[in-house]
Chains A and B, each alone.
Chain A
Amino acid sequence: MGEILNIFQGLADGFGIAFSLTNLTFALIGAVLGTIVGILPGLGPSATISLLLPLSFKIGSPVTSIIMMAGIFYGAMYGGSTTSILVNIPGEAASVVTCIDGYQMALKGRAGPALGMAAIGSFVAGTIGVLGLTFVAPPLAEFALKFGPPEYFSLTLLGLVMATLLGGDSIIKGLIMVVLGLLLGSVGLDPISGAIRFTWGFHMLQEGIDFVTLAMGMFGIGEIFYNLEKVLKTELVTRKISHLWPSLKDWMDCKWPIVRGSFIGFLIGILPGGGAVISSLVSYAVEKRVAKNPEEFGKGAIQGVAGPESANNAAASASFIPLLTLGIPGNAAIAMIFAALLIQGVTPGPFLITEKPDVFWGVVASMYIGNVMLLILNLPMVGLWVQLLRVPYSILAPIIILFCCVGVFSVRNSVFDIWVMGIFGVIGYIFRKVGLEPGPLILAFVLGPILERSIRQALLMSAGSPSIFLTRPISGALMTALILFIGFQIFMNRRKRGQREKI
């Protein structure tokens, strides 16, 4: 009982913080920016948050900057569907499946209900996700207080492996990215002995590779070089959007897909390595399976819009849980927010809720408010944002590059960092070309120091016996989960290959 009361008390305090004028303003800025980058193809939430990381020095208080960055992340989930529906290009990765039925609806003149349902589903699911975050995070953080180095090692490893296996189609390629990310993370001073590693004589590298530089290079610059290969054309199906409010039949059709999407999204979002992208794919598959007339999917079924759009929002909210309670980010965008917290001198982890309650509850409360803002931004005002699609990517691309250059320069006032970012940009471009996803690399880069410190401390504890990871109950359970998961994944891949050979 006392715990529930504590949660309500915390939430009330959080609303007090979130309703201050500064925090409301930055929540709105985040929501607007999120909507914009969600709508603009070729610019996703990860790249945008990395662009704003240098600014978080200037914003000042940690609560305010995280409120804004969180708004960008879940706001992008709202905006992404608009481009999918109207242009048939996903505005950002978690809206890929929305293209399938959303665009078909638009072709049939039902763009309005598709956009409306996507926004309403996003709002319902986003709010369910935040409710889950409110009530699941505090007990989870208390449980996580029992974790020692072996548990942290097992959990981090589980997160990395799941992110890799769930993310791409090739397990080997994903693992290569993880290992490269970990190696890049080990440049600079060794966290335990202070020895210098891999600096190749550049004294600028002694502090390690800066996260902002790496993230902007891989996501910002690399993405733009890659997009330059093709000419991105955004042609709208329709200029006039009417009947945003769905009909009664649409409501009846979408009621359960939204609820199912919310729960699927929430469960996948909590998982380390899970996230908005995967949850929308799973939701689409589930809706297609349970639908009364599955043959309508692909021809403009509104369930195929409502389900995935709900799922990606619930997942976006839920993925704050592992970050804020365990200090382990589960996907690339959350990894950026993790970096923002570190820049502000806040170490996310099980102590966050008790030691920095203002940060935790302030951000959580702002997410309730942010979802209301986003509903207004994306339902009555959607026509305004659609105009953004008229700004050609050809002009946007050099502006994004300049933003990256100035942003990365401002961190240490050094032109050297612009060069480093450019090199990572070219590497990121080549990676994309050969089918290597930069997401796991970024995640591994962030988790690398946690992983290294925990494995070395654990081995010191056990006097060199790796059995410590299996004999401690929580760590053992996590390792078992890891092994079961890898086994399951290999089994599924075999089966897929078997089916392909039969065809």
Chain B
Amino acid sequence: MGKLKHPGPGFLPFGLACLLIALALALILSQWKMGNAKAPFWPEGTWRRPLLGVGVFILYAFLIEYAGFLITTFIFLVLWLWVIEKINWFRIMAVSVAVTAVLYLIFGYFLEVPLPAGFLA
């Protein structure tokens, strides 16, 4: 950590950690004084869509290494539009195919990003 005369690598992080503890205590104290900490974190069913979104995202990050960019992106779009947005199947398919193709063209083809190919390779 070092001293004031010779501040080392732990100097700033240590100071910041102390400050953070103080601020956290101050926040708890101020909330407690106001006494209105009763609001629920997710009012009435609003948890569903965000949690589904996180779930589909995790699936995407997990699958992309094995199934490759094209398949995973397509699955991601279908799942998202079907499970979360519940739009009709014709639109789901149209949007999923079009977006996957456009993204592949922009990033894979024009910008030459080596997108994961998965088992297609």
Mask of A383-421 contacts with B, CB within 8 angstroms, 1/0: 000000000001101110111011001100101001100
Flag if B99 contacts A399 (CB, 8 Å): yes
Docked complex Cα distance between A229 and B24 (Å):
27
| Pick from B7, B10, B85, B87: contact of A459, CB under 8 Å | B7
Flag if B6 contacts A460 (CB, 8 Å): yes
| Pick from B8, B16, B42, B61: contact of A419, CB under 8 Å | B61
The A interface, classified by DSSP as helix, strand, loop or mixed, is: helix
Nearest CB on B from A390, distance (A): 14
Flag if B111 contacts A402 (CB, 8 Å): no
A179 contact set on B, CB distance < 8 A: 16, 19-20, 23
Instruction: Choose among B53, B69, B99 the residue with the greatest number of A CB atoms under 10 Å from its CB.
Output: B53
B6 contact set on A, CB distance < 8 A: 460, 464
Flag if B5 contacts A459 (CB, 8 Å): yes
A425 CB–B CB distance under 8 Å: yes
B120 CB–A CB distance under 8 Å: no
Instruction: Choose among B7, B49, B69, B115 the residue with the greatest number of A CB atoms under 10 Å from its CB.
Output: B7
A165 CB–B CB distance under 8 Å: no
Flag if B7 contacts A455 (CB, 8 Å): yes
Q: Which parts of A172-228 form the interface with B (CB within 8 Å)? A: 172-173, 175-176, 179-180, 182-183, 186, 190, 192-193, 195, 197-198, 221, 224-226, 228
Docked complex Cα distance between A224 and B50 (Å):
8
Docked complex Cα distance between A102 and B79 (Å):
38
Flag if B3 contacts A415 (CB, 8 Å): no
Q: Chain A: which residue is nearest B112 at the CB level? A: A58
A250 contact set on B, CB distance < 8 A: none
B101 CB–A CB distance under 8 Å: no
Q: Say whether, besides A179-B20, A179-B23, A398 and B61 are in contact (CB < 8 Å).
A: no
A240 CB–B CB distance under 8 Å: no
Flag if A225 contacts B54 (CB, 8 Å): yes
Per the CB 8 Å criterion, the residue count for chain A at the interface is: 55
| Pick from A58, A173, A422, A455: contact of B57, CB under 8 Å | A422
A464 contact set on B, CB distance < 8 A: 3-6
A456 CB–B CB distance under 8 Å: yes
A198 contact set on B, CB distance < 8 A: 13
Nearest CB on B from A220, distance (A): 12
Flag if B49 contacts A455 (CB, 8 Å): no
A230 CB–B CB distance under 8 Å: yes
Q: Chain B: which residue is nearest A187 at the CB level? A: B13
Docked complex Cα distance between A277 and B49 (Å):
29
A463 CB–B CB distance under 8 Å: yes
Flag if B30 contacts A398 (CB, 8 Å): no
Docked complex Cα distance between A173 and B24 (Å):
9
Docked complex Cα distance between A269 and B57 (Å):
37
Docked complex Cα distance between A241 and B98 (Å):
32
Q: Chain A: which residue is nearest B27 at the CB level? A: A172
| Pick from B13, B76, B99: contact of A197, CB under 8 Å | B13
A429 CB–B CB distance under 8 Å: yes
A466 CB–B CB distance under 8 Å: yes
| Pick from B12, B24, B115, B116: contact of A176, CB under 8 Å | B24
| Pick from B4, B9, B60: contact of A192, CB under 8 Å | B9
Q: Which parts of B1-42 form the interface with A (CB within 8 Å)? A: 3-13, 16-17, 19-20, 23-24, 26-27, 30, 41-42
| Pick from A221, A399, A409, A451: contact of B113, CB under 8 Å | A409
B103 contact set on A, CB distance < 8 A: 402-403, 406
Docked complex Cα distance between A190 and B7 (Å):
12
Flag if A190 contacts B9 (CB, 8 Å): yes
Docked complex Cα distance between A330 and B11 (Å):
25
A146 CB–B CB distance under 8 Å: no
Nearest CB on B from A223, distance (A): 11
Flag if A55 contacts B111 (CB, 8 Å): yes
B95 CB–A CB distance under 8 Å: yes
Flag if A176 contacts B9 (CB, 8 Å): no
Q: List 13 A-B contacts (CB under 8 A).
A: A175-B23, A183-B13, A221-B57, A229-B50, A394-B85, A395-B85, A398-B76, A398-B99, A399-B99, A402-B76, A402-B77, A402-B103, A426-B54
> Which 10 pairs between the two chains have the least Cβ-Cβ distance?
A464-B5, A190-B9, A464-B4, A195-B9, A394-B85, A228-B49, A398-B80, A410-B113, A229-B46, A456-B7
Q: Could you tell me which B residues sit within 8 Å of A by CB distance?
A: 3-13, 16-17, 19-20, 23-24, 26-27, 30, 41-42, 46, 49-50, 52-54, 57-58, 60-61, 64-65, 69, 73, 76-77, 80-81, 84-85, 87, 95, 99, 103, 107, 111, 113-116
Known interface pairs A394-B87, A413-B114; 16 further A-B residue pairs with C-beta atoms within 8 A, sorted by A's residue number: A58-B111, A183-B20, A186-B12, A186-B16, A197-B13, A221-B57, A225-B50, A225-B53, A229-B49, A398-B81, A401-B80, A402-B77, A405-B64, A415-B61, A419-B61, A422-B61
